Amino acid sequence: MTTIQTSDFNPWEGIRNVSSSSYYASKRVDEVLNPRQRDLHWSLNETGNPALLIGYDADERCADSMPYFKGIATGEDRQRHLIVIALQDSAMRDAFLKVCIDIISVLQNVPKGQQRHAVIIRLERWAYFFRGKKAKLTEEEQKGLIAELVCLQRVTLKMLEPKAALRSWVGPQRAVHDFVFGQTSIEVKSNRGAGTPNITISSSSQLSVNDDEALFLYVVEVNQASSPNEGRTLADYVRHTRESFDSPLDALEFDLKLSQVGYSETDDYSSTLWSVGSIRCFTVSQDFPHIEEDSLNPAISCVTYKVNLNCCNPFEIGEEQIRNSLRGNDA
């Protein structure tokens, strides 16, 4: 894909009319940006604002709704099988153009019959960015994400198809547990190994289970490394995991999950290298050391506590036992 300097690029130049309810004033996105000649058109909406029209197959069925943007309008003409995104805030013109170019680029690798779904996934990713991007991930957040990526690769992707594995990864949506497979869940933690055996439990519900549920604790040793021979950056771990997804749609879903976590490829994580060490797994039963949510006084809330894993040896299991428990579970 050709790199475009957005400040000097005006693809809407030459469109002489504006759109109406019965007519879209537009011109096709050229082959430089659109070598696969997807149904993509630059347009001016009814108020004369820049817009992008994205056509999709009439038989494509997708229940996803359009995400909300600040400064950018998203809509759909179902009769004509078009998604329309339009600029609302003129101060966001360069950002809007970047969104358009990104979507055009993504659609070059997506089958025609999946274009609507792909566009919505990508728009959802941009929506997280425009809702107010926070600072890049802290070192603790980086460690936590690396631990979840390790579990995704070593457990879920070994047991499930990529789409189901991604669906099971619910940690980015701030769910109680990081991975959910029906009545079975995995809670992922990072620590610094045997020297610091404590892990932090962030709520009273995080290790609570009932008789119908199975919960596993998956603890990954993540330490700072001093040289490239000993460790990798967070971006390296992300790229390595993304290579597990052959489907462009699965890769888009993966990127959306990363955005929900707060990870952006535009942030620089090159200054910190991380190494992954030992992995310890535990089955969490009623007897596992934890604070039971139902036992708390109603006046107590927002409980955070630490568990010393060296005191949990009777509950320790191997990774394979977790994988075995997932066999037959529907994610």
pLDDT digits (tens, 9 = 90+) for 80-119: 999 999 999 999 999 999 999 999 999 999 998 899 999 9
Residue 152: which domain range?
A: 139-326
Q: Which of 57, 27, 33 has its CA nearest to residue 105?
A: 33
pTM for this entry: 0.85
Show which of 113, 130, 147 is a domain's final residue: 130
Q: What total of structural domains would you count in the chain?
A: 2
> Could you tell me how far CA 207 lies from the centroid of its own chain?
24
Is residue 273, in this structure, part of any structural domain at all? yes
- Residues 113-155: pLDDT tens digits? 899 999 999 999 998 888 765 679 999 999 999 999 999 999 9
The torsion angles phi and psi of 188, rounded to 5 degrees, stand at -105, 135
Residues 156 and 294 in one domain: yes
Query: Rounded to a whole number, what is the distance in angstroms from the first to the last CA of the chain?
Result: 36
Nearest residue to 218 via CA among 151, 290, 289: 151
Q: Are 204 and 233 in contact (CB under 8 A)?
A: no
CB-based contact 152:165 (threshold 8 Å): yes
Give CA torsion, residues 166, 171, 173, 177, to 10 deg: 120
In a domain, 243, yes or no: yes
- pLDDT of amino acid 191: 92
What's the CA gap between 2 and 5, in Å, rounded? 10
CA dihedral 310, 311, 315, 319 (to 10 degrees): -10
Q: What is the DSSP string of 70-87?
A: SSEEEEEETTTTEEEEEE
Tell me: do 284 and 153 sit in the same domain: yes
- Cα 265 to its chain centre, rounded Å, is 12
152 located within any domain: yes
Q: Does one domain contain both 272 and 171? A: yes
Tell me, yes or no, whether 117 and 151 share the same domain: no
Instruction: Find, among 138, 107, 137, 108, the residue nearest to 123 by Cα.
Output: 107
Same domain for 202 and 87, yes or no, is: no
Is 31 within the bounds of a domain? Answer: yes
pLDDT digit string (tens) for the chain, length 331 residues = 455 556 678 999 999 888 888 889 999 999 999 999 999 999 999 999 999 999 999 888 767 788 888 889 999 998 899 999 999 999 999 999 999 999 999 999 999 889 999 999 999 999 888 876 567 999 999 999 999 999 999 999 999 999 999 999 999 998 889 999 999 999 999 998 767 889 999 988 899 888 888 999 999 999 999 888 889 999 999 999 999 999 999 999 999 999 999 998 889 999 999 999 999 999 999 899 998 878 888 888 888 999 999 999 999 999 999 999 887 654 4
**Separation CA 310–CA 316 (nearest Å):** 10
* Strand-by-strand arrangement of the 26-28 sheet: 26-28, 40-44, 50-55, 82-87, 72-77
Judged on CB neighbours under 10 Å (0-12, 13-18, 19+), 327 is exposed
Q: Are residues 122 and 166 in the same domain?
A: no
Co-location of 190 and 251 in the same domain: yes
Is there a single domain that holds both residue 75 and residue 52? yes
Give the pLDDT of residue 194.
67
**Per-residue model confidence (pLDDT) at position 6:** 60
1 domain-assigned: no
Same domain, 268 and 200: yes
The rounded distance, in Å, linking the Cα atoms of 291 and 306 is: 10
- Residue 19 inside a domain? The answer is yes
- Give yes or no: residues 158 and 257 share one domain: yes
Q: Are residues 124 and 162 in the same domain?
A: no
Tell me which of 130, 164, 199 is where a domain ends.
130
Task: Please report whether residue 331 resides in a domain.
Answer: no
pLDDT value of residue 331: 43
Name which of 174, 167, 188, 185 is nearest 253 in CA terms: 167
The residue from 83, 107, 130 where one domain ends is 130
Residues 103 and 64 in one domain: yes
Alpha carbons 241 and 251: distance in angstroms, whole number: 10
**Domain for residue 162, yes or no?**
yes
Helices (H) and strands (E) in the chain, counts: 8, 12
Q: Please work out, in degrees rounded to the nearest 5, the angle formed at the alpha carbon of residue 151 by the alpha carbons of 258 and 143.
A: 60
